[in-house]
Amino acid sequence: MGFDEMDVDTIWMDGEFVDWDEAQVHVLTHGLHYGTGVFEGARCYDTEEGPAIFRWEEHLERLFQSAKPYEMEIDHTKEELTEATKTLIQRQELPSCYIRPIAFYGYNSLGVSPKDCPTRTAVAVWPWGAYLGEEALEDGIDVMISSWRKHASSQIPTNAKTTGLYVNSMLAGEEARRNGYAEAIVLNKEGNVAEGPGENIFLVRDDEIYTPGLSESILDGITRDSVIKIAEDLGYTVHDDVSISRGELNTADELFFTGSAAEVTPIRKVDNVTIGNGSRGPVTEDIQSRFFDIVERKTDAYDEWFEYV
Ligand SMILES: Cc1ncc(COP(=O)(O)O)c(C=O)c1O
């Protein structure tokens, strides 16, 4: 669904609330030419206590951390961004939504050095359902190992959520979809499993859980962190600092993706090889159902993870 079909009319930009159609930048914006922006994607859930943003503090913290390698000064405080986001959700009466904060080098000159370009900051919110479809959450998805490799973290900081990085994600995801798959798995430079184009990946073997470590060229996913804690609290052993070889994907009992957009999505086939029983596995289901109970606030546990609007 395109933005024009959505009932949203306001964006916060550089300290002001502006009409949706007025939230524009110059075509010679630095970030547009060189991918010099950092951003976040968070979800706000519909709960009995009203809209609740999942792990907002961690998303804000990652936004500011992502800006650091680029020496980008975000001219607004975390408190201002929080206030702006809550106001956007309230004003547009959204019971649940996706939240997209972004900071980028703006318009002034177009040398590669952004030194003279101002930092622009914006927050937009809009209604967004299941990223890979409702069915995907239940039935799982078929994925393809991309022929594109993930950047090494010595080439570009992969722990920063940078706009320019997503051309790699786009190439991998579109390659997969062109070939009839729902999503891609991207290997790192060493040929080990890194992550999805916009998701972290988990593997289940003999009831223990494995996920690539932070040095495997992955984004330090906030859902990844949440799922590690949830799984441990459910009593599972989680190995969160491992290398996973390509072949281990095929022999896994279960695989699943995590992400703010993808939430917890089971993977049923990789390159047409069936994983486990070819549907959502029991460990994935256990963690996924606990995850949704938590984000929909059907339990009091983990209340510190929520920012109520
Ligand atoms: C490349 C990449 N990996 C992993 C993730 C998952 O991170 P998070 O759970 O913080 O959304 C995302 C989504 O932001 C992503 O874009």
Ramachandran region of residue 140, left (φ > 0), alpha (ψ -120 to 50) or beta?
left
CB atoms within 10 A of CB 93: 8
Ligand 1 centroid–CA 219 distance in Å is: 6
> φ and ψ at 19, to 5 degrees?
-60, 145
Confidence at residue 1, expressed as pLDDT on a 0 to 100 scale: 80
Looking at the chain, the whole-number percentage of residues with pLDDT higher than 70 is 100
State the distance from the centre of ligand 1 to the C-alpha of 108, rounded, in angstroms.
31
Report, in angstroms and rounded to the nearest whole number, the Rg of the chain calculated over CA atoms: 19
Answer whether 195 contacts ligand 1 (Cβ < 6 A): yes
Q: What is the pLDDT of residues 192-229, one digit of tens each?
A: 999 999 999 999 999 999 999 999 999 999 999 999 99
Which residue numbers are catalytic? 161
Q: What share of the chain is helix, strand, coil (3-state, %, to 5)?
A: 30, 30, 35
Position of tokens 């997209």?
Answer: 100
**Where does the pLDDT of residue 129 fall: very low under 50, low under 70, confident under 90, or very high at 90 and above?**
confident
Q: Where are the domains of the chain?
A: 3-126, 134-295
C-alpha 130/C-alpha 7 separation (Å) is: 18
Give the residue carrying structure tokens 């999805």.
Answer: 196
Q: Is a pLDDT exceeding 90 seen at residue 309?
A: yes
Q: How much is the pTM?
A: 0.97
**Among the four given CATH numbers 3.40.50.9100, 3.40.50.1820, 3.30.70.330, 3.20.10.10, the one describing domain 134-295:** 3.20.10.10
Tokens of residue 177, six digits: 């979809």
The highest-level CATH class for domain 3-126 is: alpha beta
